[in-house]
Structure 1
């Protein structure tokens, strides 16, 4: 995986965690739950993209 793509997944995941903390501080638990779910999907998408790129490189 390229460094820029890795950075994109890392920064977006950190932003989602910051938004989770902010929504908890504003006493919005449903919004915090939404951001946690989005965070899990973002991390999972990063692993999926990494595996697909690695698999494609091995087949070439």
Structure 2
């Protein structure tokens, strides 16, 4: 995975996790749950992209 793409996944993943904590402190549990699912999907997609790029190099 290129450094730029890895940085993108790291920054967006961190922002999504920060959004979860914000919505928990703001008293909006449904938004926190929604962003938890979105962040899990986004972080998982980062692993999928990394595995596909690694497999295509072989």
Whether these two folds match at TM > 0.5 is yes
TM-score, normalization by structure 1: 0.93
TM-score, normalization by structure 2: 0.97
For residues 1-60 of structure 1, what are the structure 2 equivalents within 5 Å? Answer: 1-58=1-58
How many residue pairs were aligned? 58
Structure 1 distance, partners of 2:43, 2:16, is 11
For structure 2, which runs of at least 5 residues remain unmatched after alignment? none
Moved over 4 A (4+): none
Larger radius of gyration: 1
For structure 1, which runs of at least 5 residues remain unmatched after alignment? none
